[in-house]
Every structure is written in structure tokens, then in C-alpha cells.
Amino acid sequence: MADLSWIPRESNDKNHYLWGEEHFGTEAPSVIYEKRPILDPEGKAVEGLYSAWIILNNPKQFNSYTTGMVKGVIAGFQRASVDSSVVAAVFTAVGDKAFCTGGNTKEYAEYYAGRPNEYGLYMDLFIAMVDGILGCKKPTICRVNGMRVAGGQEIGMACDLTITSDLAIFGQAGPRHGSAPDGGSTDFLPWMLPMELAIWNCISCELWSAYKMKRLGLLSKCLPVIRDGGKWIRNPAVVTDSYVEDGEIVYGEFKAGEEAKKAREYINNAKTDFALVDAEVNKILWTFTNLFPGCLIKSTEGVRLKKKFFWDQTKVINRHWLAANMATEANLGFTAFNTKKITGKDTIDFIEYRRLQVKGAAFDTDFMAAVLPGPKKE
């Protein structure tokens, strides 16, 4: 055998983390970063191999991300990407009510509203967060534990696979509250849906059930999380026992009327159990573990890059528009949403807004006062 021992080599391991622990925490609002052992089909831990869990921790505000939390997500995916002991990254959140409802509207309304330059700097961080998910050198799984709405829907769709609680709801909120779903939805959805459905999903702010999302191919697996008397109960607020009624597809649609009311009461009193969701996540992680790492990430990125292509074309332009918009419609929309406890309403008067536009009214404090809901009368 040839002897190449004379060639100088360095053998010390390198640390490729860009950050230490400063962007992680356990006190809300924060991002928790954990390494959990890969489990074999018998539930035994595999020595030396892990999944990285990036966990949004702001449950009192439906796991909406603050500026600091965005930094934590960036740091989490970068750390998972360069850690050779990590097989895949799991993106999830604390609790059973929400995965994420997007940016923190309190922070938006009370700090960024009316400060477009500052919001532009925030958007640079948001772009880096989506880039970090799309560029992670490990497969990414979004474990949806509740609402995935607005920016939460967008960072969730940036992941490779979605495994969800069947109580979760999905959708956009931007056009109703002063923004546009340009944090990924306008880029990703035309790849995932027929064009008209993509447009409707982006603009309508209509919320879809997990079962409808599964039916339309927008997620991988939808699993029940209510267990009653030893039996798994599918979301009773959604039609799951029939596919077509009177010529219309009804599978995955929300029930209405008295049925919906009874379902909500049942869900509110039920306890959740994510055993099936976590078993499916572990099953996928085990599948990943038993593939060539290089072939796995090349195959993943070969598909992922199609989604990333359109994101890359528009992210800078969208950054500038979203920043400028924080001086006008976003200023109004987030202020209205943030003051709903004071006013009793979470949106502006859209009719008056359009009437003022017709008149060519200047966007000033008088304009804002005319369309924002006022404080509730005692």
C-alpha cells in the first residue's frame, strides 16, 4: 500500500456554527434548539445520530415570531445544517394551539408601523430566515401543532415535508391586515396549486382545514390528536366521512351551524395527544437515516431548488415593497389588529378607505383617524 503519511494534514475538528447559544432560550418569547436521538422502529435511541428540533416558543401570542425569534430560527437551521451528527431538522412550536401565526403584530404595530426603514432591516432578517430553511443541508420537516397562518404558513411551506395535527388550520392574513403574502406564499403556491386556487388562497384570507390541505397536496400527512376512550377521534369540525355531496367535493371542508358549534365545544374540552404525529415524524427520520447522506440532500435540493428559484427572483423586490408599505396600509392594518381589545374590531373601515382614495385624500393622521375603529364606548 502506498505511503502518503508524509503529506501534512490537520486532524482537529472544525466548528462551523456561525453563532453560539445567544439566539436560543427557554423563556418566551424565544427559540428552543434541541438535539434528539434518532429512534429505531422499536423506539430505541441510535447512538450518535440526532434530529435537530427548532421550536418556536411564544405560545401566549400564538407562537408569532419576534425579531429576536427570527434570529433564533436562522441560527437553528444553520446549526442543524452544519452538524454532521444531525440527520434532519424538525421545525415546530410549543403547545397545541399554534405552530405560528406569522410576525408578532404587537411588535409590528407598536414599533415597526410608520418606520419603513426599520421594517426593511427586519425584512432582511426574515429573508435570511426563509433562505436558511430553503438552504439547510438537511431535509426539513414542519411538525404542525396548531394554526399555521400568515407568515407562519410561509415559513412552514419553506420546509420540505409537513406532518400536521388534524386540528390545525392554514391560510393567509395579509390582505385583510395590511400586507401581502410575499414572504413565500406568492412564490410557492403557484407550484403547489392550480393558478386560480393559488390566487384565491393568497388574497381571500380564507382558512383551510388540515384535511383540505392534504386533499390538495399541500402537506404530507394529517393525523388525529384527540384520543377519547382509547379511540382516536378525527377533527369533528371537518367533514371526513364523505367526499362528494350534491356534486361538490366536501371532504376537508368545515362543518357549519349546529354541527360546527357542537364540534367546537367538544374540541375545547378535549385533551390532545401528539403520539401519532410524533410517530410519523420518527418514521420519516428513520427513513432518512437509512439513506446515503449525500444522495439524500442532493435529491431533496434537486426538488427544493424549483421552489427556491422563484423565491430568489422576488425576495429583494418584495422586501422593498413590504418596507414601504409599512408607512401606509400595513401601518393601518397592524394598528387595527393590535388595538382590537380597545376598539372591539381588528380591521379598518375598508369602505371608507376606498372612498377616501377616490377623493385623492392625503394619507395623514386625519385619514388614519377616519378609517381606524375608535375605542369602544363605555
Count how many Cα atoms sit within 13 Å of the Cα of residue 179 in the half-sphere of its side chain.
31
Phi and psi angles of residue 149, each rounded to the nearest 5 degrees, phi first: -130, 150
Is residue 259 domain-shared with residue 291, that is, in the same domain?
no
Q: Is there a single domain that holds both residue 361 and residue 294?
A: no
Domain that holds residue 51: 30-225+273-325
Does residue 17 sit within a domain?
A: no
Measure the N-to-C terminal CA separation of the chain; round to a whole number of Å: 91
pLDDT (0 to 100) of residue 366: 97
Q: Write out pLDDT tens, residues 239-252.
A: 999 999 999 999 99
| 369/281 same-domain check | no
> CATH number for the domain including 313?
3.90.226.10
Are 102 and 211 part of one and the same domain? yes
Is residue 127 assigned to a domain? yes
Q: How many CB atoms lie within 10 A of CB 74?
A: 23
263 and 293 fall within a common domain = no
Residues 368 and 219 in one domain: no
**Same domain? 51 vs 72:** yes
Are residue 154 and residue 167 in the same domain, yes or no?
yes
Query: In angstroms, rounded to a whole number, what is the distance separating the alpha carbons of residues 20 and 362?
Result: 48
Distance CA 378, CA 376 (A): 6
Q: How far is CA 319 from the centre of its chain?
A: 18
**Same domain, residue pair 108 and 60:** yes
Asked if 73 and 133 sit in the same domain, the reply is yes
Q: How many domains does the chain have?
A: 3
Same domain for 218 and 316: yes
Tell me whether residue 24 is in a domain: no
pLDDT in the model for residue 365: 95
Residue 123 lies in a domain: yes
Note whether residue 219 is domain-resident: yes
**Rounded Cα gap, residues 203 and 296, in angstroms:** 35
Whether residue 61 lies inside any domain: the answer is yes
Distance CA(148)–CA(165), nearest Å, equals 11
CB 129 within 8 A of CB 73: yes
pTM of the model: 0.95
Residue 13, pLDDT score: 86
| Residue ranges of the chain with per-residue pLDDT less than 70 | none
Alpha helices in the chain (DSSP H): 67-82, 105-107, 116-134, 151-157, 174-177, 185-192, 195-204, 210-215, 257-269, 275-289, 293-325, 329-338, 340-343, 350-358, 365-371
Same domain, 258 and 308: no
9 lies in some domain: no
Question: Does the residue 19 lie in any domain?
Answer: no
